[in-house]
Every structure is written in C-alpha cells, then in structure tokens.
Amino acid sequence: MQQQTKDTDARRQWMGVLAKSDESHVVQLWAGLSDLPAWEYLRRPEVGLVMVRGRMGGDGGPFNLGEMTVTRCSVRLQNGVVGHAWVAGRSARHAEMAAIADALMQDGDWRARVGEKLLAPLQSKLADDRGRAERKAAATRVDFFTMVRGED
C-alpha cells in the first residue's frame, strides 16, 4: 500500500511536469531520445475544457476558478504499458509526447533514461521560471501596516 502511494505520487509529479512544460522545450529534448519503442494510440489527442477549482488559502470551501483548455491523449507501448496525458493548451503533439513519456516512465528499462534526458531538464526549467517570477513579484512587494489611532 505504501509503495503504491509512493508510485502514485511519483507519477503525479512527472505527469505534472510534462503537462506544465512548454511544448517547444519538450520537442527540443524529445529529439535527444532515440530508438523509442513502437506505440499506438488508445485515444487520439482531443482538445477540451476542464473546470479549474480552487480553495481560498488551501483549506477554504472549493470554488470554480475558471475553465482552461487541455488536450488529452492515451497511448500504449508495444509491451502493453499504458500512458496517459492531460496537458495545458491545445497542442496534439505535446499531449502525444507527454503520454508516451508517461508510459516510458512506468517502464523499468526506460525510466532512468527518460528521467535524466527529459524530465530532469524540464523540471529544472519549470523551477527556474517559477523562481524568476517569484523574485520579480518579491521586488515589488509592499508591506502594509496601520498605526493604531487609539480612537476608541
């Protein structure tokens, strides 16, 4: 059970990285993977909308933040491993690559290679981008404070 949770967490993490990365960056790194196994579509890429929900402060009541465009795709490798992807945006190619990568990451023979050549660079790029955005926001930060006016 513990192992299963760990696997699910790991998969959730790499699916998130694949989904949020820039398509151009994925394409660029994809070129570095060679001799990929044969695969076929289980579900061809299709574009749709999902409702993004949020919770104020992380523990408030859930509310609908808004809809976003996603593309989903599912593939099956030659050996029967199934990969799924839901990626942001409307790129069929991105969804397809993400689904294949998800399948490869579940395959013992491929995991290390795809993790090193694809996932690691994508993840560090996402972390860099996030760090940059955070620094930019921090530079304009204003601390509000109010003096007690002692009126009552």
Partner 1 sequence: MNALAPQTGLLPGFNDPVADSQKMFRAVLEAMSRPGTIVTAPVLPVAPQPLNPVAAALILALADYETPLWLDPAARQPAAIDYVRFHCGCPLVEAPDQAGFALVTDAKSMPPLSAFHLGSDEYPDRSTTVIVQVPHLDGGEAWRLKGPGIRDQAILAAGQLPSAFKAWVQDNHALFPRGVDLLFAAPGQLAGLPRSTLLEG
Q: Which residues bind partner 1 (CB under 8 A)?
A: 38, 40-44, 46, 74, 76, 78-82
Q: How far is the CB of 88 from partner 1 (least distance, A)?
A: 22
Select 42 or 50, whichever has its Cβ closest to partner 1.
Answer: 42
Q: Distance between CA atoms of 92 and 100, rounded to whole angstroms?
A: 12
Distances (CA, A) of 84 to 2, 9, 42, 79: 23, 15, 9, 15
Select 44 or 53, whichever has its Cβ closest to partner 1.
Answer: 44
Select 42 or 127, whichever has its Cβ closest to partner 1.
Answer: 42
Burial of 106 (0-12, 13-18, 19+ CB in 10 A): middle
Q: How far is the CB of 68 from partner 1 (least distance, A)?
A: 20
